[in-house]
Amino acid sequence: MVSDRLPQSFYLGEDVVFLAKALLGNVLVTEFNGQRSAGRIVETEAYRGPDDRACHAFNNRRTPRTEVMFGPGGHAYVYLCYGIHHLFNIVTGPEDAAHAVLIRGVEPLDNLALMLERRHLTKPAPPLTAGPGALAQALGIRTIHSGLPLFAPESPIWLEDRGLTPSPESIVAGTRVGVEPAGACALRPWRFSIKGSPWVSRAKGAPTP
């Protein structure tokens, strides 16, 4: 079966919280220099530009870095955190909405060997792809990929629906990680994961079931 790339229309919905849930179970694929690797999305977080203090585009603040979030949905927003980690987000919503979904955890599917090599690890355990910085490194995603259209046929990064979408009752909602200073916004249950998956991040402050 040939899996097609998710079309741009998938990303254009106004409700970024809904889309963060809808992204669970879809497969994130990268192919650089003919080398493909992929993982199933098991953890996401929604960031809503205009009214979310935790979002880089809060209050519709435009900077060169956040400009891509103000474009139409379906583009990559990759940001360097702590000078080390490349965090992969998917821009959602219509133009000027400034919403994005952070991918926080994936279950490795294709080309484990390449992912292990990129992470300098030897066995497929959660440290490989559980956590936003970890999965970006495993899939070879870096800040230079920010702005890529995920729906375009020639893009080296895209999403596929391989029929692995979780049932609604197996989706867990929680508070987001690392957004303490955002005050009341930190209480919003905008972090979503697939219940029981070992590939969900164990970040500080995250619920541990």
Partner DNA sequence: AAGAGGATGAACT
Partner DNA sequence: GTTCATCCTCTTG
Q: Among residues 4 and 127, whose Cβ is nearest to DNA?
A: 127
CB of 160 to DNA, least distance (A): 22
Calpha distance 144→148 (Å, rounded): 9
Judged by the rule CB under 7 A, the positions of this chain that interact with DNA are 45, 47, 54-56, 61, 63-66, 77, 79-85, 87, 89, 100, 102, 119, 127, 131-134, 143, 177-179, 181, 201, 203-204
Q: Among residues 4 and 96, whose Cβ is nearest to DNA?
A: 96
Selection from 1, 10, 53 nearest residue 150 by Cα: 10
Helix extents (H) in the chain: 8-11, 16-22, 112-119, 132-139
- Buried-state track 169-202, b at ≥16 Cβ within 10 A, e below 16: eebbebbbbbbeebeebbebebbbbbeebebbbe
CB of 163 to DNA, least distance (A): 27
CB of 53 to DNA, least distance (A): 9
Q: Among residues 134 and 157, whose Cβ is nearest to DNA?
A: 134
CB of 126 to DNA, least distance (A): 9
